[in-house]
């Protein structure tokens, strides 16, 4: 637990709200020092877990190996979260994260957040303004403006942050960077990605049928959160079908794009794309994402602004795959669920998974002839939650911290922005604008539900 009293914590939060910026007093000393001084058993961190059904079940299970779970929060405790609740019978539980912070804010050091995309921003912002370390599932946010705000809040608070992209902790992403640096395939020109997502109902024919009433125990008001729509409860949205919605999810690209793009994006230290264009798409509307799409990105600068020869990302979902490269070998096929082909001026690398767990230069004779470089990039022991907890204790930042994760999320969301606009976009990253398309502004930064607004943080 930290050393702030409930009164000083409340004062800091009021200062944040009043000034629309994170007050210096919100973190009285570096957050990792507070964690190291924790009174919790064996020096373990105290964690509150928000969103404990679905992906949250695994996140709580992982976190419990390295920290004390002191509170659980889920809008539907009797639903998919019930298994987690049963495994932690003596832990206080909530259906409203705001009440959790109000009542137990002084009793935990950090939070895990594994909720639908639209609720990432308000929950994470509450945690950051109270000086909590944050583990947040991908994508970082539902809109580009929200991702930028979380980045700024994390930077100003000084806490330890991590976005949940497992592959960023794996061996494959490090091998890929080392192989590219060793000129294994020459200069990278294109990365081709595919996925079988969506595996939930998505497309123009999807309808949300309201139920007669909200199920007992389900906090539907908190589920709706910041979205300014008077949305009736529907089993077609909760518990697992919200990803199809632009308002609550980010479609197939938002689900898998952060995983697949991560490896080459990090290996080449890419900046924002110069151009994003939609090659093809099935029908969709202003509420529902399409069932299939193909999107092309063009990068011409690194993160630091250095100009480079163009690199393309070509994304396809809905089970659409590229032609099988002849280098893969006779009789072999591309994995139907996920995959990436990385093309260079001298060769190709193929990975048949979302996380680069299996990495091969093709054809196979080129793989056998390749002299593997020494392993120069530090390896991570354990997955993203362990890396995050270790970083809290050591006062460092993990690999997918919000400084990196916000940029990666923004790239993914730019694909959705191009889809929804129906035309190529040129991105003015400095001003957070699509050049010549003011109609994009409400999609970049949406209006918020009355009573759920959060003050803007200025850089």
pLDDT tens digits, 106-147: 999 999 999 999 999 999 999 999 999 999 999 999 999 999
> What average pLDDT score do residues 196-216 get?
92
pLDDT in tens, 292-323: 999 999 999 999 999 999 999 999 999 999 99
Tell me, what CATH number does 31's domain have?
Answer: 3.40.50.720
pLDDT in tens, 146-168: 999 999 999 999 999 999 999 99
- Is the predicted pLDDT of residue 21 greater than 90, yes or no? no
Q: What is the pLDDT of residue 43?
A: 79
> What average pLDDT score do residues 29-36 get?
43
Whether 231 maps to a domain, the answer reads no
Q: Are residue 160 and residue 176 in the same domain, yes or no?
A: no
Whether 453 maps to a domain, the answer reads no
- Residues 124, 150 contacting (CB under 8 angstroms): yes
Residue 290 CA to residue 317 CA, distance in Å, equals 10
Q: What is the pLDDT of residue 32?
A: 42
Q: What is the pLDDT of residue 240?
A: 86
Q: Are residue 197 and residue 162 in the same domain, yes or no?
A: no
Whether 212 maps to a domain, the answer reads no
Q: What is the pLDDT of residue 42?
A: 59
Q: Are residue 187 and residue 74 in the same domain, yes or no?
A: no
- Residues 293, 197 contacting (CB under 8 angstroms): no
Whether 252 maps to a domain, the answer reads yes
Please give the residue range of the domain that contains residue 127.
6-167+386-411
Q: Are residue 274 and residue 348 in the same domain, yes or no?
A: yes
User: Rounded mean pLDDT of the chain?
Assistant: 91
- Residues 415, 268 contacting (CB under 8 angstroms): no
Whether 229 maps to a domain, the answer reads no
Tell me, what CATH number does 420's domain have?
Answer: 3.30.360.10
Q: 320: closest CA among 287, 357, 292, 279?
A: 292
- Residues 248, 239 contacting (CB under 8 angstroms): no
Whether 292 maps to a domain, the answer reads yes
pLDDT in tens, 390-434: 999 999 999 999 999 999 999 999 999 999 999 999 999 999 999
Banded pLDDT at 26 (limits 50, 70, 90)? very low
Q: What is the pLDDT of residue 333?
A: 95
| More confident: 223 or 38 | 223
User: What does residue 336 show for φ and ψ, rounded to 5 degrees?
Assistant: -80, -15
Residue 241 CA to residue 218 CA, distance in Å, equals 16
Q: Is 421 helix (H, G, I), strand (E, B) or coil?
A: helix
pLDDT in tens, 91-106: 999 999 999 999 999 9
With the CA atoms of 343, 348, 352 and 358 taken in that order, what torsion angle do they form, in degrees rounded to the nearest 10?
-120
Tell whether the torsion through CA atoms of 374, 191, 188 and 263 is positive or negative: negative
Q: Is 433 helix (H, G, I), strand (E, B) or coil?
A: strand
Q: Are residue 116 and residue 189 in the same domain, yes or no?
A: no
Q: Are residue 60 and residue 186 in the same domain, yes or no?
A: no
Q: What is the pLDDT of residue 459?
A: 85
Q: What is the pLDDT of residue 226?
A: 97
Q: Are residue 256 and residue 356 in the same domain, yes or no?
A: yes
Q: Are residue 153 and residue 18 in the same domain, yes or no?
A: yes
Global confidence as pTM: 0.92
- Is the predicted pLDDT of residue 9 greater than 50, yes or no? no
Q: Are residue 310 and residue 367 in the same domain, yes or no?
A: yes
Banded pLDDT at 209 (limits 50, 70, 90)? confident
> What average pLDDT score do residues 34-48 get?
66
Q: Are residue 100 and residue 14 in the same domain, yes or no?
A: yes
Q: 150: closest CA among 383, 404, 389?
A: 404
Whether 23 maps to a domain, the answer reads yes
Q: What is the pLDDT of residue 212?
A: 86
Q: Are residue 268 and residue 144 in the same domain, yes or no?
A: no
Q: Are residue 308 and residue 190 in the same domain, yes or no?
A: yes
- Is the predicted pLDDT of residue 1 greater than 60, yes or no? no
Banded pLDDT at 263 (limits 50, 70, 90)? very high
Number of structural domains (the chain) is 2
Whether 261 maps to a domain, the answer reads yes
């Amino acid at each position: 637990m930290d050393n702030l009293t409930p009164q000083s914590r409340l004062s800091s939060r009021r200062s944040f709200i009043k000034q629309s910026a994170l007050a210096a007093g919100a973190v009285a000393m570096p957050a990792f020092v507070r964690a190291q001084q924790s009174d919790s058993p064996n020096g373990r961190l105290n964690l509150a877990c928000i969103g404990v059904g679905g992906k949250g079940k695994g996140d709580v299970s992982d976190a419990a190996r390295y920290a004390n779970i002191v509170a659980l929060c889920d809008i539907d405790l009797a639903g998919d979260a019930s298994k987690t609740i049963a495994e932690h019978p003596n832990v206080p539980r909530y259906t409203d994260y705001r009440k959790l912070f109000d009542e137990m804010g002084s009793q935990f050091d950090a939070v895990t957040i594994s909720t639908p995309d639209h609720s990432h921003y308000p929950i994470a912002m509450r945690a950051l303004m109270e000086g909590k370390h944050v583990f947040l599932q991908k994508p970082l946010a539902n809109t580009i403006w929200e991702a930028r705000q979380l980045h700024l809040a994390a930077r100003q608070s000084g806490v330890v942050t991590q976005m949940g992209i497992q592959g960023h902790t794996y061996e494959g992403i490090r091998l890929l960077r080392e192989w590219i640096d060793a000129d294994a395939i020459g200069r990278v020109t294109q990365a081709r990605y595919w996925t079988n997502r969506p595996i939930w109902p998505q497309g123009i024919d999807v309808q949300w049928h309201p139920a007669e009433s909200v199920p007992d125990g389900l906090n539907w008001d908190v589920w709706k959160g910041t979205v300014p729509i008077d949305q009736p409860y529907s089993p077609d949205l909760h518990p697992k079908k919200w990803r199809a919605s632009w308002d609550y999810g980010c479609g197939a690209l938002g689900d898998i794009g952060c995983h697949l793009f991560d490896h080459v994006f990090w290996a080449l230290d890419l900046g924002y794309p110069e151009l994003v264009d939609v090659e093809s798409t099935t029908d969709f509307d202003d509420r529902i994402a399409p069932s299939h799409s193909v999107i092309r990105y063009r990068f011409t600068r690194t993160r630091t602004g250095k100009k480079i020869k163009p690199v393309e990302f070509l994304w396809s979902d809905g089970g659409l795959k590229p032609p099988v490269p002849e280098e893969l070998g006779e009789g072999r096929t591309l994995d139907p669920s996920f995959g990436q082909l990385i093309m260079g001026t001298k060769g190709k690398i193929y990975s048949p998974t979302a996380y680069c767990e299996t990495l091969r230069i093709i054809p196979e004779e080129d793989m056998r002839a390749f002299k593997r470089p020494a392993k120069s990039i530090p390896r991570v022991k354990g997955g993203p939650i362990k890396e995050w907890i270790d970083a809290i204790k050591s006062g460092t930042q993990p690999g997918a911290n919000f400084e990196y994760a916000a940029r990666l999320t923004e790239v993914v969301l730019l694909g959705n922005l191009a889809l929804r606009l129906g035309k190529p976009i040129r991105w003015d990253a400095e001003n957070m604008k699509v050049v010549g398309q003011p109609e994009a502004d409400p999609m970049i930064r949406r209006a918020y539900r009355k009573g759920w607004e959060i003050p803007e943080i200025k850089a």
